[in-house]
Structure 1
Amino acid sequence: MREVAVTGSDGAVDIRNTLQRMRRRGGLPVAFGGLFSGSRQFRISELTGTTTNSLRGLAITPGNGLGGKVLTMSRPISVADYPASRAISHEYDAAVGAEGLRSMLAVPVVVRGRVRGVLYGALRQPLLLGDRALTAAVESARELERVLESELAQELAVREEAQRLLTEARQRRGQPPGPQWEPSAEETDPAVWEEVREAHGDLRALAHRVPDRQLREEILTACSRLARASSGRGRQREHRNGGPGVELSPREVDVLACVASGATNSTAAERLGLRPETVKSYLRSSMRKLGAHTRLHAVVEARRAGLLP
C-alpha cells in the first residue's frame, strides 16, 4: 500500500507552533524543522529565529549531517560545535554556516514506529546544550507526534470510507461503459442509480477532508468516472447528451452533487465546509453556465453534461 504522508493541510501550522513552543521552553534562539511528505527525503520547511533563508527548503538525506543521522538512528543527538564535529558528516555546512549556527540539537518525530521528520534547535555560540533545551525539544516532538497520529488516524479512516463508497458504487453500476456498452436491467433501475448518485455525493464531500493530495485526486477521478458512466447510460436511453462544452469548477460540481441529494444550502455548506453565502454563489454560477432557471433544472443539465451521475 502506498505510504500515507503525514503533512496535511495544517502540517505547516502544526510544526510552526511546535517550534515556537520549543524555543520558548528551551531558551533556544533558533529552531527549525520539517516532515516527510512521502519520499525518502524531507525538507526543512519551517524556520523560527533565523536571520537568513539558507536552511529553507534544504533536503535532508538519511545519514547525512545531524538531521540525517537522527533519521537513521531514530534518537536525539546534539553537537557542541557543528562545523568542527567529527560525529557527523558535513554535507550541509554551507547552509548552516550562512545562518551562523554552531551548537545544535536534533530530535526525531516518530509516528507509528517510523521517523516522519526532525526538529532542530540551535545556538550561534559553540556551547554544550543543557538538559533544559534537550528536554524541551523532546517534549515538543512528542506533542507533535500526538497531533500527527490523530491526523493520520483521521486520514486512514477517510481513506477506508472512500474505498468503501467506491467499492459499493462499482458493485452497483458494474464496469465503466465501453464503446459497445449496453445498459443491463440493473443499471437502468432508477433505484440503483440513486444509490450511485448518493455515493457520488458522499465521495465528493469526503474528498475535501483528505489532506493527501494524491488520494484526493484519486477520489475526484473516481467521481468523474461515475458521472461519465451515468452520462453514457443517458445517451443510450435518450440518444443525446445535453450541455455540450459545459465546464464547471470542482466546487460548483460539489454544490450540485449536494443539491441533487436534496440538501439545502445550509446543509450543503456544512457538508462541504463552506459558508451558506458561498454555496449560493457557486449555485448561481453553475446555473448560469448550464442555462438553468431552477436548482432542479441545473441538476438535470449537469447530469446530461456528464458532470453528475
Structure 2
Amino acid sequence: MTALAAPENDAQLVSRAVDDLARSTRFPVVFGGLESQGSVHVTAIAGARSHSIDDLVVRIGRGLGGAAMVEKRPRLALDYRTARTITHDYDRAILGEGISTLFAVPIVTDGRARGVLYCGSWSQAPVGDLVARPAFRAADAISTELRIRDEVQRRLALAPTPEAATGLSAAAREDLRESFAELRSIAATVDDADLRARLAAIERRLTTVAGDGATSAKDADVQLSPRELDVLACCALGSTNAEIGAALSLKEGTVKSYLQSAMAKLDASTRHAAVTRARRLGLLP
C-alpha cells in the first residue's frame, strides 16, 4: 500500500492560517488557536514584539476571544484597556504585548465554536468591513478544513476492512456506495494534497470492500476522469442528471456530457451498464 504523507495537524493548520492572515491584514500582530477541554490554546503567533502572549490559554466565556466563542460572532475592543463588556482575565498578556485594539473572530464549524483568531494593533485602529474581511476568510478556511477532516474521520471509522466484507448485506453495500459518492463530492472541494490523498485512500478501501470482480481498470485499460467518476458514483445511487448536477454544482448538460464520456470509455450503452462495468473493474463500490 502506498504510504501517505502525514496530514497537517491542528497546530500546523492554525499556524498556516495565522501566517497567511498576517500577510493580508492591516493588523501588525495576529495569533490564534483551537479549543480543547473548554479552553482555547494559542498555538500560533505572528508579528508579536514580546513573549507576553506565548502559550496563552483562554477559557471559554472569558476575555474577548472567550466571549466571541460563546456568542459565535466576532468581537471588537477598540480600546482594550478600558473595554467594559468583557472580562479582563488576560490583561497581563494582551497589555503586556502593548495591544490597544483587539479583534477576535471565532472559528465555527456546524454551529460549534472550535477556536478563535485574534488581530491586534498597538494603537487604536477602526475596523471596517475591508479590514475585517481577511480575518473572516481565514476563520472560514479553518472551519471548512475542520469540517472536512471531521467527515473524513467519520467515514474512515465507518468503513469496514476487506476482511469484514464477507457476507456484506445489500443494505450495508448500499451504505458503502452512498459513502463513496459523498466522499467524491467532498474531494472536489479540497485543495490540500494530503487531505485529498487520505480521501482517495478511503475511496480505495470502500471499492476493495465492496468489489467482487477479478478484472481491474488498469488491466482493462479504462481511465475515467475525476468528474466522470463523480457523476458515475451518483448514477450508482439512482440519481437523475438534475440531482447529480445539484449535488456536484454542475449544469445538467455538463452532467450528461460526463456521463456519455464515461459510458463510451466503459463500452456501455446505458448508465446502468456503465455502473455495472465500473463496479466489475473496481472503479466503484
Question: Is TM > 0.5 for Structure 1 vs Structure 2?
Answer: yes
* 2:274 maps to which of 290, 294, 298: 298
Provide the rounded CA distance (Å) in 2 between the counterparts of 1:241 and 1:159: 30
2:155 to 150, 158, 165: 165
Corresponding position of 1:190: 170
Alpha-carbon shift at residue 149 of structure 1 (Å): 1.8
Is the 2:190–2:196 contact (alpha carbons within 8 Å) kept by the matching residues of 1?
A: yes
1:147-201 superposed Cα distances (whole Å, 9 cap, x missing partner): 322332233223212322232222xxxx235xxxx9522x2x2222111111111
1:210-221 correspondence to structure 2 within 5 Å: 210-221=190-201
Shift of 1:139: 7.3
Matching residue of 2:138: 148
Ranges in structure 2 where 5+ consecutive residues have no aligned partner: 1-7, 32-43, 55-101, 107-114
Equivalent runs, 1:52-63 vs 2, <5 Å: none
Deviations 1:230-268 (A, max 9, x none): 33x333xxxx55772211111111110001011111211
Matched, 1:263 2:239: yes
> Out of 13, 21, 25, which is 1:5 matched to?
13
Change (3 A) 1:152 1:282: same
Matched, 1:176 2:179: no
* Cα separation, partners in 2 of 1:279 and 1:71, compared to 1, 3 Å: farther
Match of 1:83 in 2: none
Is the Cα–Cα contact under 8 Å of residues 109 and 144 in structure 1 kept in the other structure?
A: no
Aligned to 2:203: 223
Question: How many pairs align?
Answer: 207
User: How far does the alpha carbon of each residue in 1:85-127 deviate from its partner, in whole angstroms, 9 at most, with x for none?
Assistant: xxxxxxxxxxxxxxxxxxxxxx999874567xx99xxxxxxxx
Q: How much has 1:217 moved relative to structure 2?
A: 2.5
Q: Which residue does 1:203 correspond to in 2?
A: 183
- Residue correspondence of structure 1 range 86-97 to structure 2 within 5 A: none
TM-score by length of 1: 0.53
1:253 paired residue among 225, 229, 233: 229
Letter in 1 for 2:220: P
Q: 1:139 to 1:109 in 2, by over 3 A?
A: farther
* Alignment check: 8 A CA contact 1:15 1:144 kept: no
Displacement of 1:294 in angstroms is 0.6
* One-letter identity of the residue aligned with 1:202: E
TM-fit CA distance, 1:301:
0.8
Runs of 5+ consecutive residues of structure 1 not aligned to the other structure = 23-30, 36-61, 76-106, 120-129
